[in-house]
Amino acid sequence: MTGHIVQLFYLVAAASFILSLKWMSAPATARRGILVGELGMLLAIVGTLLRHEVVSYQGILVAFFLGSAIGVPLAYLMPMTAVPQRTALSHAFGALAAALIGAAEYYKHTPHGLVMVALAAETLLGFLTFTGSLMAFGKLQEILPTRPITYRHQNVLNLSLLGLAVAFGVALVLRPEQTWMFPIFSALALIFGVLLIVPIGGADMPTVIALLNSYAGLSAAAMGFALDNKLLIIAGTLDGSSGFILSIIMCRAMNRSFTNVLFGAFGQAQTTHEQAAQRPVRSATPEDAASILDSARMVIVVPGYGMAVAQAQHKLRELYDSLTKRGVDVRFAIHPVAGRMPGHMNVLLAEADIPYDKLFEMDDINSDFAQADVALVVGANDVTNPAARNDSSSPIYGMPILNVDKARTVMVIKRSLSPGFAGIDNELYYMEKTLMLFGDAKGFLTSIVKEIGASVHA
């Protein structure tokens, strides 16, 4: 009897997760999506606790308590700029759970055949995602160097390590009773996870985070196979395909392939690029910028990771407010890979209370730049570089970019002329119509807002 109730709970939980993702598609229904997701999770947990195999509850309750005690502050105290780090960390936790369950199951049953295949996949993906995500966390938190670290024969080494891990996995499937192989197999997966992320640079993080998301989901799905639990398979697969699609979207937005992101560390080929810092640029003061913005009718703002670093999103909202009040049409153009994870800019701008119907995707706004009086670039670089369109020798050639250069006037807030992550000089800065606003994004925006405010009272 209980068995049937548990199965029913699991079935409803699976349906809830599907509905949850369906409702996530639009902001109007998204919060309902969370509610139904939580309900599904509750049913799954209660259902599991009811199972007759589960007899000892103390440990579970202590772990629930401990997990909540860590999870609640993690959710409420994290600043929104740190969301990519938090996401990386939770991929690590999820993957660790899957890997440890895999290990526990292995030592308990030493299963054979397809179950062992699933278990090996679960453990391999789990362990490599665990260390990989921790590395990604370290890079995003800037505990580790964010530049890609490369060395000779890196790819050969990584691939042979993965090959060795897979070989041990296959050997374990064939001879599960050889328990000495399991720790070696796990260690290889852990080391591979670290080495996989070492050559990844900051701007590739959106793709890599999405890919790790996919792996974490797939390892949960593999656990479902190993435990013959269809709820786990459905939830894990949904997560896996979500991460996979997001990483495809990110790759497309950079005109690169998976292999290129994972194995072709950006940033070396460009060192030969000639120094162009001597070329003349036009710079402007906050007063100049304010008067141009004030007399504009249509302004498109292009935010990038630099905005997040400078925490300038709230100042940007003030600028948006004061310009909108004066009848200027202000919109935001968001490149898919702006920031450090998919959708990062949208969250930051929403946090600053900028209405989401003013945030536009690249394809929806790109044709409007030609009509814009001002394109204001705040902390974005490579995604505005016309070289991606014009210069076939550029490493970013072919990458879809925001057509900032089509606007009547281009303003770029930037600390200095230093090249972006890819180490590529940006043609945009040397154009006749471009005004460089040198300084800290937050400070500069503050001055502009003050100037516009002053001209109201004058």
Which residues ranging from 29 to 48 are in contact with other proteins (CB under 8 A)? 30-31, 33-34, 37-38, 40-41, 44-45, 48
Instruction: Figure out which of the listed residues 2, 7, 8, 57 binds other proteins, where binding follows CB under 8 A.
Output: 57
Q: How far apart are CA 228 and CA 219, in angstroms?
A: 14
Residue 69: count of CB within 10 angstroms of its CB: 10
Query: Catalytic: 382?
Result: yes
Measured from the CB of residue 397, what is the shortest distance to other proteins in angstroms?
24
Site for other proteins contains 83 (CB under 8 A): yes
| Short-list 408, 379, 454, CA closest to 297 | 408
Q: Which two tokens stand for residue 458?
A: 């004058």
In angstroms, the CA 235 to CA 218 distance is: 9
**Which segments within 198-338 are labelled E, that is strand?**
298-303, 329-334
288 vs 329, beta carbon nearer other proteins: 329
Please tell me whether residue 304 binds other proteins under the rule CB under 8 A. Answer: no
118 neighbors 233 (Cβ within 8 angstroms): no
Considering only 8, 159, 174, 228, the residue that binds other proteins (CB under 8 A) is 228
Q: Does 183 bind other proteins (CB under 8 A)?
A: no
d(CA 338, CA 384): 11
Interface segment toward other proteins; rule CB under 8 A; list 139-147, 337-345, 399-407, 430-438: 337-345
In this chain, which of 124, 134, 220, 328 binds other proteins, going by CB under 8 A? 220
* Segment (H or E) for 438: strand 434-438
What's the order of all strands across the beta sheet hosting 409-414?
359-361, 329-334, 298-303, 374-378, 409-414, 434-438
- Specify whether the CB–CB gap between 304 and 349 falls below 8 A: no
Identify residue 182 by its one-letter amino acid code.
F
Minimum distance from residue 101 beta carbon to other proteins (Å): 5
- For the bound state, the minimum distance from the C-beta of residue 385 to other proteins, rounded and expressed in Å, comes to 21
Using CB under 8 A as the binding rule, whether residue 180 contacts other proteins is answered as: no
Write out the H or E segment, with its range, that includes residue 290.
helix 286-295
Number of residues in contact with other proteins under rule CB under 8 A: 114
Q: Are strands 409-414 and 374-378 parallel, antiparallel or unpaired?
A: parallel
What residues between 339 and 398 interact with other proteins by CB under 8 A?
Answer: 341-344, 346-347, 350-351, 353, 355-359, 361
Judged by CB under 8 A, which of 67, 145, 163, 453 binds other proteins? 67
143 part of the interface to other proteins, by CB under 8 A: no
Which of 118, 200, 211, 310 lies at the binding interface for other proteins (CB under 8 A)?
A: 118
SS3 of 288, please?
A: helix
CB distance 196 to 127 below 8 Å: no
CA–CA separation, 261 vs 117, rounded Å? 28
Q: Which listed residue (176, 267, 336, 439) binds other proteins by CB under 8 A?
A: 336
Taking CB under 8 A as the criterion, the residue among 4, 108, 153, 457 binding other proteins is: 108
If binding is defined by CB under 8 A, does position 63 make contact with other proteins?
Answer: yes
Considering the rule CB under 8 A, would residue 70 count as an interface residue with other proteins? yes
CB of 46 to other proteins, least distance (A): 11
Exactly one of 239, 382, 405, 425 is catalytic; which is it?
Answer: 382
Cα 425 from Cα 269, distance rounded (Å): 13
| 446 near other proteins, rule: CB under 8 A | no
Residues serving a catalytic function are 382
